Homo-oligomer: A and B are copies of this chain.
Amino acid sequence: MDVGFIGLGAMGQPMARNLAKAGHTVTVWNRTRARSEQLLEAGGRVAASPQDACRGDAVFSMLADDAAVESVFFGHEDLLGALGEETIHISSSTISVAFARRLTEAHRAAKHALLAAPVFGRPSAAEAAQLVMAVAGPSEAIARCRPLFDALAKKTVVVGEAPPAANVFKLAGNFLIGAALEALGEAFTLMRKSGMDPRVFYDTMTTTLFAAPVYQGYGSLILEEKYRPAGFTVGLGLKDARLVLAAADIASAPMPLANIIHDHLLTAMAQGRHDDDWSSLARVVAENAGL
C-alpha cells in the first residue's frame, strides 16, 4: 500500500521502518528533517512537505500529545485539509478522549475516514513488530488497513466503530500497568520495612499468580531500583495519568487508584525526577515510608 507517516519519534521511527520492510511504499515526514532521512535506507521516501505524506491509501500520525496533533492537523500545516480524498488517517498518538472526539467530529465533517490505532509496547517491541494495537473506526476502513497493522503488531484488536473508544482502551491499559507499579511498590515497601528482602516474594509471585510480563519486567526494575535509563519516563506516565483521569471525568467514573498513581508521579515530577522511568513511582512509595 501507499502510506504516509507523520512523526518519527522513538515509536514512529521503527514503525515506519517496519511498514517499509513489509513492502509498503512509505512517505515520511518529521518536524526535524534529520529523523526522516534515517528512513531512506529502509526504503522509505522523505516527503517534500507534510501535505505530501497525506495523499496515499493511508497516513499514520504518531505525535506527542493533543497539542502536537492539533497543530499539525488543524493549525498551520492543516493536514486535515490536505488529506487525499481516499486517504485514511490512522491516528496512533496517545491523546485525550476529548480531543479524540473533536478529531472524530472534524474528520466526519470533512468526510475523511479516521481510525484511532494506539499501541502498547516499548520501542523495542515496535522494532520487533511485536506491538499490541487497539483499533477503532469504520470496519471497512479497518479491513483495508489490516496489512499495515500486520506489519507492526503481533496482535491487533478491534475495539469498536467510534475512534475515541480505542483511546479509552489505550488509557485503560496504561492505567492497569500503573496500578501494578503502585501495588508492587507498596508490597515491596511493606516487606523492606518489615525487615525482609522482597526478592523471594518477587520470584514467587511472578512465577505463579502474577506470571505476566508487566509484573516480571517492571517488578524487576522496582526490585533493583533501576530507574535509569527510562523505558517510559515519569513525564510521559504523568501525561497518561492525566489523560485517564480526564477520560474518567468525562465518563463520570471515579478512579481513586488512578488518583494515587497520578499523585505519586506528580511527586516524582515535583522532586525533579522527570526523566526517571515511571516505575519510580514506587520510589515515592518507599520514601513515604522513610526509606
Q: Which residues of A contact B (CB under 8 A)?
A: 97, 120, 132, 134, 155, 157-160, 162, 164-165, 168-169, 171-173, 175-177, 179-180, 182-184, 186-187, 189-191, 193-196, 200-201, 203-205, 207-215, 242, 244, 247-260, 262-264, 266-267, 269-272, 284-285, 288-290
In the complex, the chain B residue whose C-beta lies closest to that of A168 is B194
In the complex, the chain B residue whose C-beta lies closest to that of A290 is B270
For A205, the chain B residues whose CB sits under 8 A away are 173, 176
For A255, the chain B residues whose CB sits under 8 A away are 186, 189-190, 263
CA distance A213 to B288 in the complex (A): 30
Quote the shortest CB–CB distance from A25 to chain B (angstroms): 30
In the complex, the chain B residue whose C-beta lies closest to that of A216 is B212
Asked whether, in the complex, the Cβ of B270 is within 8 Å of the Cβ of A263, the reply is no
**Shortest beta-carbon contacts, A-B, top 7:** A270-B290, A179-B183, A212-B212, A193-B251, A254-B263, A252-B270, A253-B289
CA distance A60 to B87 in the complex (A): 49
In the complex, the chain B residue whose C-beta lies closest to that of A97 is B194
Quote the shortest CB–CB distance from A69 to chain B (angstroms): 19
Quote the shortest CB–CB distance from A267 to chain B (angstroms): 5
Asked whether, in the complex, the Cβ of A290 is within 8 Å of the Cβ of B263, the reply is no
CA distance A182 to B157 in the complex (A): 24
Quote the shortest CB–CB distance from A175 to chain B (angstroms): 6
Asked whether, in the complex, the Cβ of A165 is within 8 Å of the Cβ of B196, the reply is yes
For A253, the chain B residues whose CB sits under 8 A away are 186, 189-190, 193-194, 266, 270, 289
CA distance A212 to B176 in the complex (A): 13
For A289, the chain B residues whose CB sits under 8 A away are 251-254, 266-267, 270
Asked whether, in the complex, the Cβ of B263 is within 8 Å of the Cβ of A256, the reply is yes
CA distance A177 to B179 in the complex (A): 11
Quote the shortest CB–CB distance from A281 to chain B (angstroms): 11
